[in-house]
């Protein structure tokens, strides 16, 4: 997807989608785990944290008897890159997650035992508006509530997946993230057209407590 093709009124700058950021790229080093990491993971219980600072986190976990997963998180963007490996350290798949709403974005990639790509699932197929642009649009639409309730985070719980529903229209569903000032009984969802960036409607999700 080329963010430069998005109508300019919806784009703060050409870097809005952040797809040039390292979290969105798979490096040569990420295709295979080094032996030092594998040795540390042997017979280990719990996570092996490699990096943890205010901007980035990277930790490994023995997901099962046959898999290792590396959770990489860009805290600034709230994006996770999950890299799944076989026990011999060869990458099996990678996926990208917007963590508030745990919605998969951009692409999920699968690899063979040689580290070659065998399958790519494009979760933004048919979209011109990327996840970050949808949030920027909602910031304008909900400006009064954002300022009133001091909203700093946004939830991305909905995205029409055209791989599963090819006859549907591409749409993003964005919500304001709750905080100590904002605990609504009804969560308002702002729906954004995934092609034009047009604000379509709001719907409400009623929160119930057992």
More confident residue, 12 or 103: 103
- Write the pLDDT tens digit of every residue in 14-26: 478 988 898 999 9
The arithmetic mean of pLDDT across residues 171-179, rounded, is 92
Q: Which of 181, 111, 110 is nearest to 145 (CA)?
A: 181
Cα angle at 85 between 131 and 36, to 5 degrees? 115
> How far apart, in whole angstroms, are the C-alpha atoms of residue 190 and residue 204?
9
Cα 196 to Cα 56, 133, 201, distances in angstroms: 32, 11, 14
> How far apart, in whole angstroms, are the C-alpha atoms of residue 20 and residue 83?
18
List phi, psi (to 5°) of 90: -95, 135
- Write the pLDDT tens digit of every residue in 129-150: 999 999 999 999 999 999 999 9
**With the CA atoms of 143, 76, 103 and 87 taken in that order, what torsion angle do they form, in degrees rounded to the nearest 10?**
180
Residues 6+ apart with CB under 8 A from 46: 61
- Write the pLDDT tens digit of every residue in 45-98: 778 888 888 889 999 988 666 789 999 999 999 999 999 999 889 999 999 999
Give 209's pLDDT tier (boundaries 50, 70, 90): very low
Find out whether 70 and 56 touch, Cβ atoms under 8 Å.
no
Find out whether 151 and 138 touch, Cβ atoms under 8 Å.
no
| Domains delineated in the chain | 3-122 (no CATH), 131-206 (3.10.450)
């Amino acid at each position: 997807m080329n963010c430069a093709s998005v109508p300019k009124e919806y784009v703060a700058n050409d870097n809005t989608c952040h797809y040039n950021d390292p979290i969105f790229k798979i490096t040569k080093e990420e295709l295979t785990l080094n032996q030092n990491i594998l040795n540390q993971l042997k017979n280990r219980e719990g996570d092996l944290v490699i990096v943890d600072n205010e901007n980035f986190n990277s930790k490994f976990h023995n997901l099962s008897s046959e898999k290792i997963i590396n959770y990489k998180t860009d805290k600034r963007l709230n994006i996770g890159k999950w890299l799944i490996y076989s026990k011999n350290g060869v990458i099996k798949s990678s996926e990208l997650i917007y963590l508030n709403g745990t919605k998969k974005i951009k692409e999920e990639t699968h690899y063979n035992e040689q580290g070659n790509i065998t399958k790519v699932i494009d979760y933004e197929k048919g979209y011109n508006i990327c996840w970050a642009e949808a949030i920027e649009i909602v910031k304008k639409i909900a400006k009064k509530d954002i300022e009133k309730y001091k909203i700093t985070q946004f939830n991305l719980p909905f995205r029409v997946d055209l791989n599963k529903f090819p006859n549907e229209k591409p749409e993003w569903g964005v919500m304001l993230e709750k905080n100590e000032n904002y605990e609504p009984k009804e969560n308002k969802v702002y729906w954004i057209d995934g092609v034009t960036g047009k604000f379509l409607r709001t719907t409400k999700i009623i929160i119930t407590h057992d």
